[in-house]
Chains A and B, each alone.
Chain A
Amino acid sequence: MTDGPLIVQSDKTLLLDIDHPMSTECRRAIAPFAELERAPEHIHTYRLTSLGLWNARAAGHDAEQVIDTLIKYSRYAVPHSILIDVAETMSRYGRLRLEMDPVHGLILITTDTAVLEEVIRAKKIAPLLGARIDAETITVLPSQRGQIKQSLLRLGWPAEDFAGYVDGQAHEISLVQKDWKIRPYQELAAEGFFHGGSGVVVLPCGAGKTIVGAAAMAHVKATTLILVTNTIAARQWREELLKRTTLNEDEIGEYSGAKKEIRPVTIATYQVMTKKKNGVYAHLDLFDSYDWGLIIYDEVHLLPAPIFRFTADIQSRRRLGLTATLVREDGMEGEVFSLIGPKRFDVPWKEIEAQGYIAPAECIEVRVNLTETERLAYATAEPENRYRNCATTRTKRDVVEALVEKHADDQVLVIGQYIDQLDELSEVLGAPLIKGETPIKEREILFNQFRTGEIKCLVVSKVANFSIDLPDATIAIQVSGAFGSRQEEAQRLGRILRPKSDGRGAKFYSVISRDTIDQDFAQNRQRFLAEQGYSYKIIDADDVFQGKI
């Protein structure tokens, strides 16, 4: 019996004991083919999936290597069925290939005619195919490259794509590393993406995804379209690119509600892309307006449906998705992977924290007791209003007040879902409020004042959930949220994860009404972070008032 760090379970999960001396080595070895599912404190869970195994094949690993790795690190004997399954799954990859033929254009070619016969008979595949050339070859409609790859994947016969990517219009971009250095994991992520062609990079909030984007651009060296969530984020990207790369102001355009610049590097917002004029998406042409060599999707977990559809049509361009939390409550994670590309890089949050690149954070759930009247109001509320009712109770206000007072020296963000609750808090705390209707100009001013320390406390609505870079915020107080959304919780924590100049840790308070659905939703919201190893501490509101924390 070996004493390895890995336990291979019969349901294809791999349990990695991270307290084991060989765990780091083992994680590196299994990362290419196994997907990280959960990373709590002691045992990380990876999963062997067909997709992961095929990606490993695509990256040049073969079944034997995978099996050797499993056997080498496994604590107990590896179930025979798993070994067989790995070999079988991996052998399915590459029987079909997509190639560019000088005469026929895009073709699907096979080494195994039986497989080809099987797939061309599939209902979903047939309409995507053109004329049969010979027993082993068939043409594919060029516009259906993304679609056919996706459909073949679902059939279990993934096609190896040799058709390559269009280079796009070349444009010189390099990183300028004067007063900063790219971090090793950022470099690994950018390289992982570049060698894979397209794909998604998952990094914790605050770990510098923009730089991964910039590094990717420096690899591709071509015109780039960057899609971001909102105008503020667009400007942040612009700032970063100016600071980190050789690009100058004239080369970067902003394509938003306010400006419509198209430059070699264009930063567009999802909002403007999905705006409809006379029932049609007026701005989707942007995708065709330049011969883009790279398209970057920031916060790819928010990818809106129309862009989803459009992305299927541009499979010949390199695509990079960036996100911290690829969990969607609508279960569309799979779609993201198949349209943008497979996960190219993923690393547990706690590991980046251990390396000092994101601030250590403490998560605290503050439970408040409802007063008798509030309990009664909650008990009799209509089911659809119940969450709102308990999430916005008056009692929370006092707790928030006490917390803000306690952290008077820190930069504090108060985050919530319901505007009237935030209005009230803003008034009570004497802190400015940023919400959907706040003009961009004013937002920028307020954020700037917050960054410089002129404002100590800021009340924000969900507009600040993503992409807002507030390096010195150390305290976040969440008073309400979008029900049980796991990624919202993680993104909000992300607002305070930028490493602080003095190495201080961040604190994330979540104020919850006890014994209500607020508490149930909170449990679901916390799942993602708990699986990343963030352990929530639960305290009582009275402890806050008595200054016990």
Chain B
Amino acid sequence: MEMRSFSDYLRSVDDAALLNLFTARPDLVTPVPPDIASLAVRACSAPSLARAIDSLNQWQFQVLEASASLNEPFLEKSVVTLTDKEAKGALEHLVTIGLVYPSEDGLRLPTQLRDVIGIEPAGLGPASMVKLKLSELDDAPADAKKVLDRLVWGPPRGSVGDIKNPGPGVTWLLDKKFLVPLDQRTVILPREVAIALRGGKIHKERFIKQPTLSGAKRDERQINLAAIANVSTVLRWVEELLNFWADEPADALRAGGLGVRDLKIISTHLGVDESCTAFVAELAYLASLISIDADDRILPSNKFDIWLMQTPADRWQMLASQWLITSRVSGLVGRVEAKNVAALGPELDRVNAARVRGLTLQLLGENQGTAPEWNSFKEVLSWRAPVRRNSSLQEELAEWTLREAEWLGITGQGAMSKFGKQFLGGDDLSSINEDLPKTVDHILIQSDNTAIAPGPLEHEISQALAMMAEIESRGGATVYRFTESTIRRALDHGKTGDEIKTFLVKTSKTPMPQPLEYLIADVAKKHGKLRVGNTSSFIRCEDTALISQIMNDKKLEILGLRRIAPEVVICDLDATDAMRVLRECGYLPAGESANGMILTGPKSNRALTKPRPPRVIGEVEIPDKDSLTNAIRTLRTGEKSTYRQTRLRQVASEALGQLPRTTANETMEILNQFIIDEKTLSIGYADNNGGVTHRIIDPIRISAGALIAKDHATGEVQSFRIPRITGVAPL
């Protein structure tokens, strides 16, 4: 059977080879293809090929490029010639992952592969159509050499002014077919010429070996010490953040996520910068320790309580394992070029985040005891994952991963820690529990009203202290400060002064300084001296016997009476209702005013609110003096006829004050009448602001809801909207 196609090849291989292929390219079996033919189709599809190419390191990719520059079928030997003898290993790998496959007559590439890596692999043009005398290249004139130098390392295309009239160098090259015209302005360098000029190889440099990662060597003990400090810090951050949100929930932005203001608040609270804050918030979010409720408030979830009960190792693992696989990138928050990307928001996902993160950690794992130097790390990274697709953020992602790994304690002082190793290797993490500083169960109180916990405190103690003191300094130890307001806070939370004292005496290794004792006693003494409550009315009586009587009166139960002093009772109902009820039960109450005066005499009920009389619609406002003078001046100048002027002067002032209100129908009627009669009218006209002005007009016609008339004041023809005419009167 002839074996040419990729599917033929796949049919011929054994199960082990298929297994290798599927391990390297898991997308081929999700979902499992029904038969080999469809497997081959999938494996040759552009997206799958691109993904496979992404997994290549720089050397493997160079070998692939070399293979792509050969005509199929090709031999391993030719690839080696074009690259290096090390290419054999790389080729084997390419075969394993199905980017090159053997057929009867030699090696072949899956169809479409050439499309995916580009039609000009390694900057090489197409193969020449004719046989070339490459030896003549040495005799090329200087001009031609210059052209060749420009094109040899790609891109192989060059533009010439006009193909019919090129320079002398290009002419020579075209003659010898060392250049091939593509169109009117473009020429291309054939592959063979370029390879010859490149000295028989494809690449200027062959990156066969991974560059060595340089960086500071760290002592293993120091690494683990630093890492365990980081582990305890990150656990503390998460706990503190969530405790903070439990007290003061942040509001999620409408677009989702945490606003810049809230981020700043927690950043100050935790005492770390904003990028670290965003990271901590994201960690909690990934581990489902927070949820955003229906009111868009960000609150700790009930998983947080479960989390708190776990051992440090379990707590840490819960955070780290989610971080490892997430596609969310907290490093994006707060970058200058993307200001509105919010932590916990919807815009943090990046496709290659988990891949780059994995690769970064893998590199750290391969270089135990080394805190990589960034430039060297970048080099190694780009050899391992030469940037081809989705490349935009690869370096930043790696940088952020290094930073976050340190925050998490996967690394310590920049080098992979034993916890990181155990975590990535899926091993038991109980060493975290053992290595974390032992919790302490005591504090040291000092006479300057501070208390110091010389190590991580037991959970209950730290919770209790957090209530009665303010944290002044955090880290391995915690410094608390007692002030009047912190003691008050504890009292507000239902502790008594004695309880606070007993707790501190019990917890403190040092005797309780007297000033603190006094501080607590002083605050406790003052606390709650003033009582505040709500009530609707009070009942007062100098006769305490009467007060006792109404307190015991079953019929008055409806009033909800409470005696707050021998002579004072407060009541749930308001004063009027209370008086009514009291009267009904046969008592004789009287009202009391705010300054203690008795309110007697016939009571006439009056509303308590300010009166708001209804607006008068259609009223013509009485013009003030100015508008009157204006009107008069207008009349004087506007009228031509002396007779009419005289007459108008007489009537105007009368008419102004007594413009009758007319209904809409009347208005229309009068207007129509006057248009026919061509007589002068006086109208009230409401302006845009609702103010009514008085106009004297000669109506002309009615058109589209407006009255067209000559206004005497301006002497111009204007339109008046009918609904705004408040009244019409003949002059």
Contacts and interface: CB of A to CB of B under 8 A. Distances in A.
**Are A and B a genuine interacting pair, yes or no?**
yes
Interface of A: 1, 7-11, 13, 15, 17, 38, 40-43, 45, 71, 75-80, 83, 365, 515, 519, 523, 526-527, 530-531, 533-538
Contact of B447 (A8, A77, A523, A536): A536
B513 interface: yes
B378 to A, nearest CB: 20
Contacts of B233: 10, 79
Interface in B512-544: 513-515, 518, 522
A76 B226 CA distance: 9
Contacts of A76: 229, 437, 455, 475-477
B726 interface: no
Contacts of B449: 530
Residue of B412, B435, B437, B452 with most chain A CB atoms under a 10 A cut-off: B452
Contacts of A17: 454
Interface string B457-490: 0000000000000000111110100000000000
Interface string B185-229: 000000000000000000000000000000000000010011011
A132 to B, nearest CB: 33
Nearest to A77: B229
B11 to A, nearest CB: 56
27 contacts: A7-B476, A9-B474, A9-B479, A11-B474, A11-B475, A15-B452, A40-B448, A40-B450, A41-B447, A41-B510, A42-B446, A43-B452, A43-B454, A75-B476, A76-B437, A77-B225, A78-B226, A79-B475, A80-B229, A83-B413, A523-B515, A527-B448, A530-B447, A530-B515, A533-B447, A536-B447, A537-B514
Contacts of A530: 447-449, 515
Contacts of A13: 473, 475, 479
B65 interface: no
Contacts of B401: none
Contacts of B510: 41-42
A540 to B, nearest CB: 10
A449 B560 CA distance: 76
B694 to A, nearest CB: 60
B601 to A, nearest CB: 37
Contacts of B522: 515, 519
A166 to B, nearest CB: 43
A42 B437 contact: no
Nearest to A42: B444
A38 B479 CA distance: 12
B725 to A, nearest CB: 64
B504 to A, nearest CB: 15
Nearest to A81: B272
Contacts of B406: 80
B446 A79 contact: no
Contacts of A526: 515
B271 interface: yes
Given A8-B475, A80-B413, A530-B515, A43 B447 contact: no
Contacts of A41: 446-447, 510
A9 B475 contact: yes
Contacts of A7: 454, 475-477
Interface residues of B, number: 35
B446 to A, nearest CB: 4
Question: Chain A interface mostly helix, strand, loop or mixed?
Answer: mixed
B454 to A, nearest CB: 7
B230 interface: yes
B448 A10 contact: no
B437 A11 contact: no
A9 B222 CA distance: 17
A94 to B, nearest CB: 23
A8 B476 contact: yes
A246 B448 CA distance: 44
Contact of B515 (A10, A515, A531, A538): A538
Contacts of A537: 514
B474 A10 contact: yes
Interface string B35-62: 0000000000000000000000000000
A40 B513 CA distance: 11
B416 to A, nearest CB: 14
Nearest to B236: A10
Given A11-B475, A17-B454, A42-B452, A534 B229 contact: no
Interface in B251-278: 271
Residue of A42, A45, A534 with most chain B CB atoms under a 10 A cut-off: A42
Contacts of A9: 473-477, 479
B474 A80 contact: no
Contacts of A15: 452, 454, 473, 477, 479
A514 B449 CA distance: 19
B228 A77 contact: yes
A7 B477 CA distance: 7
A365 to B, nearest CB: 8
B80 to A, nearest CB: 48
A312 B437 CA distance: 50
Contacts of B518: 538
A41 B454 CA distance: 14
A10 B478 CA distance: 10
B447 A535 contact: yes
Nearest to B526: A515
A301 to B, nearest CB: 20
A534 B515 CA distance: 11
7 nearest A-B pairs in the assembled complex, by CB-CB distance = A9-B475, A77-B229, A76-B476, A535-B447, A530-B448, A40-B446, A77-B225
B446 A11 contact: no
A40 to B, nearest CB: 4
B241 to A, nearest CB: 15
Contacts of A80: 226, 229-230, 406, 412-414
A76 B271 CA distance: 19
Contacts of A365: 515
A80 to B, nearest CB: 5
A174 B497 CA distance: 61
Nearest to A15: B477
A36 B450 CA distance: 16
Contacts of A534: 447
Contacts of B226: 77-78, 80
A124 B444 CA distance: 46
B448 A38 contact: yes
Contacts of B412: 77, 80
Nearest to B521: A538
A10 B233 CA distance: 9
A536 B475 contact: no
Contacts of B514: 535-538
B482 to A, nearest CB: 11
A484 to B, nearest CB: 14
Interface in B548-572: none
A14 to B, nearest CB: 10
A532 to B, nearest CB: 9
Nearest to B450: A40
Residue of B437, B454, B475 with most chain A CB atoms under a 10 A cut-off: B475
Contacts of B476: 7-9, 75-77
B565 to A, nearest CB: 21
B434 to A, nearest CB: 10
Given A9-B479, A80-B414, A535-B513, 7 more contacts: A8-B476, A10-B475, A11-B475, A75-B455, A77-B225, A80-B413, A83-B413
A130 B225 CA distance: 51
B447 A79 contact: no
A375 to B, nearest CB: 14
Contacts of B222: 71
B447 A78 contact: no
Interface in B642-690: none
A536 B477 contact: no
Given A76-B437, A77-B226, A11 B473 contact: yes
A533 to B, nearest CB: 7
Contacts of B271: 10-11
A271 to B, nearest CB: 34
